Amino acid sequence: MDLEYYGLFLVGSILVSLGVVVLAMAALLINHLYVKYWKSVQLFKIYSYDLPPHEEPNTIIVTANTK
């Protein structure tokens, strides 16, 4: 009788692990299709003429004191 329970446990664990593998593969497939075919929707578009003019970043100039 114990052998029957061990066999059922083995079959159940194999089926559960196969189910997890199938779910992981489905998630990868959905992610692949999502990335390949998704086009982003822009509700508000920022045009370049609306932005402030480009400014140079603040730079620090280090010079050696040569006296």
Number of domains composing the chain:
1
**Distance from C-alpha of 35 to C-alpha of 23, rounded to nearest angstrom:** 18
First to last CA, the chain: 97
Nearest Cα to 13, choosing from 21, 27, 1, 26? Answer: 21
Q: Which domain holds residue 37?
A: 2-50
Higher pLDDT, 51 or 35: 35
Average pLDDT, integer, range 35-48: 68
Q: Is residue 56 part of a domain?
A: no
**Distance from C-alpha of 22 to C-alpha of 18, rounded to nearest angstrom:** 6
Q: Is residue 39 part of a domain?
A: yes
Q: Is residue 33 part of a domain?
A: yes
Q: Is residue 9 part of a domain?
A: yes
Q: Is residue 45 part of a domain?
A: yes
pTM of the model: 0.53
Higher pLDDT, 38 or 13: 13
